[in-house]
Structure 1
Amino acid sequence: MILVTGGAGFIGSNFVLDWLANGNEAVVNLDKLTYAGNLDTLSSLKDNPKHIFIHGDIGDRELMARLLSTHRPRAIINFAAESHVDRSIHGPSDFIQTNVVGTFNLLESTRAYWNDLPEVDKTAFRFLHISTDEVYGTLDAHDAPFCESNRYEPNSPYSASKAASDHLVRAWHHTYGLPVLTTNCSNNYGPYHFPEKLIPLVILNALAGKPLPIYGDGQQVRDWLFVKDHCSAIRRVLEAGQLGETYNVGGWNEKTNLDVVHTICTLLDELRPRADGKGYAEQITYVTDRPGHDRRYAIDARKLEHHLGWKPAETFETGIRKTVQWYLDNQDWTHHVTSGQYREWTAKHYGA
């Protein structure tokens, strides 16, 4: 059995679904169910005895002690985090509480559990911490992509809180011997993505006839990783990663935000044309850039490929087509998550 924290969020829920589709090992899934946690994503597992969902907080030491002693997982995969840069700018305290204090409490709960394991189980145990490429800061146009030896230079409250959590995980390994692994991933996209992020936001706004908001000049560059590729990378790191090591996970797909939006518009023109015959690109609207907006992220994932034999299966072209088609086929899911609170949020950040 494994324990997944944050398993009702975007990447976590995809991982849980992927894990149970690819094997028979049970999952205990702990999630606080904040705005981005959605049990609808896990509805297909409702009657699956291999999936045990627990509503709770990684910072609740009493709950974690009971959970760990009852289920005795062989590994913990920590997805639990506040993860949206815009939200961190307007409300940084939640990010400090969850990403820093929450990770500290989770590490301490894990350490107490791990210390009491029989030696054979103690040796086999793993704590895998899921992080982001944003901890490395920003790159100029001609800089080499981020590798694991890049120094941390976070530029937003979100990335600073994730950097802090990474440092805690590293320290608990070097100080206490906790058997940890860390992955730093690039921008994920795919099914079940909460529509405050660029790709699902653009898809849903396009279909609703709303403006497609582009920050600044739209030339910010990101490396895009299909979420199912990320899941396979996590499985491989958990299986064979070297203790104490960090592995960058990327898709080798650098795209400007504007290129991404135009690609989505072109796919929608093909798959769901506008009734008036015009192109979706006419809905593109430029909005004021956000404070401290990093210009470019890029991931060098060669360590993961060379040491563990992993590389992504999807190109951006194949992954984005699957993503757009999924949103077209699953509009009930999007209706459930785009509540009045969500609409107020998008109006606040992108303009009415």
Structure 2
Amino acid sequence: MILVTGGAGFIGANFVLDWLAQSDEPIINLDKLTYAGNLQNLASLEGDPRHIFIQGDIKDREKVAALLSQYQPRAIIHLAAESHVDRSIHGPEDFIQTNIVGTFRLLEAARQYWQNLEERTRQAFRFLHVSTDEVYGSLCKDAPAFTETHCYQPNSPYSASKASSDQLVRAYHHTYGLPTLITNCSNNYGPFQFPEKLIPLMIVNALAGRPLPIYGDGQQIRDWLYVKDHCSALRCVLEHGKPGETYNIGGWNEKPNIEIVQTICELLNALRPADYHKLITYVADRPGHDRRYAIDARKIERELGWKPVETFETGIRKTIQWYLEHQTWVASVQSGEYQKWIETHYQGHAG
């Protein structure tokens, strides 16, 4: 079996669901269940003995060690993280604690567990750390895309905390021999994404007739990766990746934010006719907003044979359709805390 951290979150839940759709190998799912972790994401697995859910914090080294000892997983897929840039600007402490301290304690528990395994099992064990392209910093418009050897230049508390966790994982491989793998992915989108990130926020707001807030001039460029493509890449890296290596995972879909929002408006108009474009509202840019991220995903294709299946056009259609069909889920995650966050963050930002 395998241990997944953060398996009730957006990417984690998609990974767990896709894994169990294709394999009978059980998953131990360790998740703290913060605002973005939601067991409703995994409702279809209720009663499934292959899914063992444990509520807990990766910073709880004793609990993690006990889980490793009890279940003897062959791999750890480390997805648990604080991941929203805006939240990191307003409250960086949680990002330092979860992404740096949490990863450190998880690594310590994994190292001690791995060192006590018998030789053949030790050789097969893997620690897969899932990270972000934001650790590389910002690119100018015509600069080459990020490769795995690009210098780290994080610009937000979030990306700095993820860069720190990447370096810890790298150090544990080179110092202790722990068989680690690191992936750096571009912006994910798809089912179960909490509606604070750009794409689900725009879909949910548009359907409710609320403003669609666009930072600055809306020309910030991101590479967009459909979450199920990301999950297939993680499975590929886990099975075929070389310990100590880093693999960039991208969708080959660079687009400015304003184009993303306009596309959402156009597709929604075809499905639920209304004048969504009039809801687009430009707001003051966030501090230190990176202009462009772009992933060069040639290494993973060349060495492991992986490439994305979805184009942005196919992926965004599937995403919008999912949100239209899961309005109950959307309503359930829009708790009082979420509403308070949106109101506080965007209050006074009209521009």
TM range (shorter): over 0.9
Cα RMSD, aligned residues only: 0.6
Whether 1:193 aligns to 2:193 is yes
Return the alpha-carbon distance in structure 2 between the equivalents of residues 272 and 50 of structure 1.
Answer: 39
Output the amino acid matched with 1:287.
V
Q: Tell me the equivalent position of 2:20.
A: 20
Q: Using the TM superposition, give the Cα deviation of residue 257 of structure 1 relative to its aligned residue in structure 2, in angstroms.
A: 0.3
Report the 3-state secondary structure (helix = DSSP H, G, I; strand = E; otherwise coil) of the residue aligned with 1:173.
Answer: helix
Whether 1:312 aligns to 2:308 is yes
Output the amino acid matched with 2:278.
E
Matches within 5 A, 1:116-265: 116-265=116-265
Output the amino acid matched with 1:193.
Q
Output the amino acid matched with 2:224.
W
Name the % identity.
71
Q: Tell me the equivalent position of 1:57.
A: 57
Output the amino acid matched with 1:108.
E
Return the alpha-carbon distance in structure 1 between the equivalents of residues 255 and 345 of structure 2.
Answer: 23
Runs of 4+ more than 2 Å apart: none
Return the alpha-carbon distance in structure 2 between the equivalents of residues 7 and 264 of structure 1.
Answer: 28
What TM-score do you get using the length of structure 2 for normalisation? 0.99
Instruction: Write out per-residue CA displacement over residues 265-304 of structure 1, whole angstroms, 9 at most, x where no aligned residue.
Output: 0000001112xxxx20110000010000000000000000
Return the alpha-carbon distance in structure 2 between the equivalents of residues 301 and 266 of structure 1.
Answer: 29
Return the alpha-carbon distance in structure 1 between the equivalents of residues 273 and 2 of structure 2.
Answer: 44
Report the 3-state secondary structure (helix = DSSP H, G, I; strand = E; otherwise coil) of the residue aligned with 2:222.
Answer: strand
Instruction: Write out per-residue CA displacement over residues 179-232 of structure 1, whole angstroms, 9 at most, x where no aligned residue.
Output: 000000000000000000000000000000000000000000000000000000
Return the alpha-carbon distance in structure 1 between the equivalents of residues 133 and 346 of structure 2.
Answer: 25
- Structure 1 gap segments, 5+ residues each: none
Return the alpha-carbon distance in structure 2 between the equivalents of residues 334 and 209 of structure 1.
Answer: 15
Instruction: Write out per-residue CA displacement over residues 114-133 of structure 1, whole angstroms, 9 at most, x where no aligned residue.
Output: 01101010000000000000
Return the alpha-carbon distance in structure 2 between the equivalents of residues 221 and 349 of structure 1.
Answer: 22
Q: Using the TM superposition, give the Cα deviation of residue 351 of structure 1 relative to its aligned residue in structure 2, in angstroms.
A: 2.6
Report the 3-state secondary structure (helix = DSSP H, G, I; strand = E; otherwise coil) of the residue aligned with 1:222.
Answer: strand
Q: Tell me the equivalent position of 1:6.
A: 6
Equivalent residue for 1:321, pick from 311, 317, 332 = 317
Output the amino acid matched with 1:347.
E
Instruction: Write out per-residue CA displacement over residues 34-69 of structure 1, whole angstroms, 9 at most, x where no aligned residue.
Output: 010000000000110000000001110110111001
Return the alpha-carbon distance in structure 1 between the equivalents of residues 307 and 170 of structure 2.
Answer: 25
Whether 1:287 aligns to 2:283 is yes
- Structure 2 gap segments, 5+ residues each: none
Instruction: Write out per-residue CA displacement over residues 135-161 of structure 1, whole angstroms, 9 at most, x where no aligned residue.
Output: 000000000000001000000000000
Return the alpha-carbon distance in structure 2 between the equivalents of residues 123 and 177 of structure 1.
Answer: 10
Return the alpha-carbon distance in structure 2 between the equivalents of residues 221 and 65 of structure 1.
Answer: 41
Report the 3-state secondary structure (helix = DSSP H, G, I; strand = E; otherwise coil) of the residue aligned with 2:332.
Answer: helix
Report the 3-state secondary structure (helix = DSSP H, G, I; strand = E; otherwise coil) of the residue aligned with 1:130.
Answer: strand
Output the amino acid matched with 1:125.
F
Output the amino acid matched with 1:13.
A
Q: Using the TM superposition, give the Cα deviation of residue 341 of structure 1 relative to its aligned residue in structure 2, in angstroms.
A: 1.1
Report the 3-state secondary structure (helix = DSSP H, G, I; strand = E; otherwise coil) of the residue aligned with 2:130.
Answer: strand
Output the amino acid matched with 1:299.
I
Q: Tell me the equivalent position of 2:114.
A: 114
Return the alpha-carbon distance in structure 1 between the equivalents of residues 102 and 160 of structure 2.
Answer: 14
Equivalent residue for 2:338, pick from 327, 334, 342 = 342
Instruction: Write out per-residue CA displacement over residues 8-54 of structure 1, whole angstroms, 9 at most, x where no aligned residue.
Output: 11001100000000111000000000010000000000110000000
Output the amino acid matched with 2:243.
L
Return the alpha-carbon distance in structure 2 between the equivalents of residues 7 and 74 of structure 1.
Answer: 17
What TM-score do you get using the length of structure 1 for normalisation? 0.98
Matches within 5 A, 1:89-104: 89-104=89-104
Return the alpha-carbon distance in structure 1 between the equivalents of residues 256 and 347 of structure 2.
Answer: 22
Return the alpha-carbon distance in structure 1 between the equivalents of residues 344 and 299 of structure 2.
Answer: 41
Output the amino acid matched with 2:252.
W
Q: Tell me the equivalent position of 1:298.
A: 294
Report the 3-state secondary structure (helix = DSSP H, G, I; strand = E; otherwise coil) of the residue aligned with 1:194.
Answer: coil
Aligned length: 348
Report the 3-state secondary structure (helix = DSSP H, G, I; strand = E; otherwise coil) of the residue aligned with 1:67.
Answer: helix
Q: Tell me the equivalent position of 2:67.
A: 67
Report the 3-state secondary structure (helix = DSSP H, G, I; strand = E; otherwise coil) of the residue aligned with 2:247.
Answer: strand
Return the alpha-carbon distance in structure 2 between the equivalents of residues 319 and 97 of structure 1.
Answer: 33
